[in-house]
Amino acid sequence: MENKSDLNRIVIALGGNALGNTPKEQQRKVEMAAKSLVDLISQGNEILICHGNGPQVGMINLAFEEGSKSNDKIVPMELPESIAMSQGYIGYHLQKAIKKELYDKKMPWHVATVVTQIEVDEEDEAFQDPKKPIGSFYTKREAEQLIAENEGLIMKEDAGRGYRRMVPSPLPKNIVEKECIINMLDNEFIVIACGGGGIPVVKNNSGEYKGVPAVIDKDFASAKLADAIDADYLFILTAVDKVSINWGRPNQKDLDSITVKEAEKYCKEGHFASGSMLPKVKAAIKFVKGGKGRRAVIASLEKASLIMQGKNGTVVHS
Ligand SMILES: Nc1ncnc2c1ncn2[C@@H]1O[C@H](COP(=O)(O)OP(=O)(O)O)[C@@H](O)[C@H]1O
Ligand SMILES: NC(=O)OP(=O)(O)O
């Protein structure tokens, strides 16, 4: 093991693309991702992994809801518990795949998942305007029927991909298990934390945390995590090699490297879709602005090991 002070500390946010749509597909995709992740350690980095859960948390929540309608032995599962379940089974697949890679490469690291709670503000305006898509995609007609049958259900169009259920997505304020995570990181653990953006909680006057019905964006949660552990880099890994301006148009331009100022300007000009690329760029800006010398890279998961050589991704810097 190298001297730990020589290692770059990287928080890696894995997008839904890394996880697939079914547990089987997830296991296969995670095995591929594990190779790139462990390669980053071989290159002299220390990594901490955060992941999305939009499709998974929607599926878990819906399964219990539907099951409870026809079977009195099944009860509905609230969103905080559904998020905790998603952290558990996604963490399990990541742990299994990473452990195998570490074994094959004879590397002495450990890997573990921390079920993570994140404090949010009860007054966050997101609670009045549910904007986070979860679960599967539906047609307009299916969505209208579901809304008619389920009181309080909100479904909206998600970035041209179909209709999805929308839930509140407050900003992350404080990672409750922060000290556990730092301790494990300091003891040669690859930590999987803040999965699905973390379980959103609020603290009452007697110091007790209570789960609230929302899903935090994992891009913002990973920026919060990267800030909390004073990471050198935040990698947001998704399906595209680079962030583009004029995305999808004939004059599309892929960006190699942008300053925070340029990124802010592009956000204002509307270059990034709100449910997909915009939170990534905003999370990158937040992280880079929070400390000297920090860099964020939005890149393709499949080529993660090429990021440090500048062959993959858009770098956001100060
Ligand atoms: N300006 C842009 N540049 C690149 N990709 C963009 C842009 N705007 C929207 N996208 C889309 O956003 C996607 C990433 O968002 P999403 O699929 O929600 O991420 P995740 O991998 O976290 O699930 C890209 O694969 C691309 O299809
Ligand atoms: N929690 C969250 O942001 O999940 P996705 O990245 O899958 O939307």
Write down the ipTM of this complex: 0.97
pLDDT digits (tens, 9 = 90+) for 1-18: 556 667 899 999 998 767
Residue keyed to tokens 């949010």 = 120
**Region 133-147: what's the mean pLDDT?**
96
How far, in Å, from the CA of 239 to the mean position of ligand 1? 7
Pairing verdict, β 209-211 and 257-259: unpaired
List residues with catalytic annotation. Answer: 16-17, 132, 218, 280
- Distance of alpha carbon 284 from alpha carbon 297, whole angstroms: 7
Mean local confidence (pLDDT), 288-292:
95
Instruction: Return the higher-pLDDT residue of 302 and 283.
Output: 283
Identify the three-state secondary structure at position 314. strand
Residue 161 pLDDT: 85
Does ligand 2 lie within 6 Å of residue 16's CB atom? yes
Pairing verdict, β 199-203 and 117-119: parallel
The residue-averaged pLDDT of 261-268 equals 98
Measured in angstroms, how far is the CA atom of residue 277 from the centroid of ligand 1? 5
Percent of the chain predicted with pLDDT > 90: 86
Q: What pTM value is reported for the model?
A: 0.95
Report which ligand 2 atom has the smallest distance to the Cα of 133. 8
In this structure, the residue with its CA closest to atom 6 of ligand 2 is: 52
- Is pLDDT of 292 > 90? yes
Structural domains in the chain plus CATH codes: 9-121+171-317 (3.40.1160.10), 131-167 (no CATH)
What six digits make up the tokens of 246?
């004029």
Task: Identify the pLDDT of residue 296.
Answer: 98
Q: Is 52 in the pocket of ligand 2 (CB under 6 A)?
A: yes
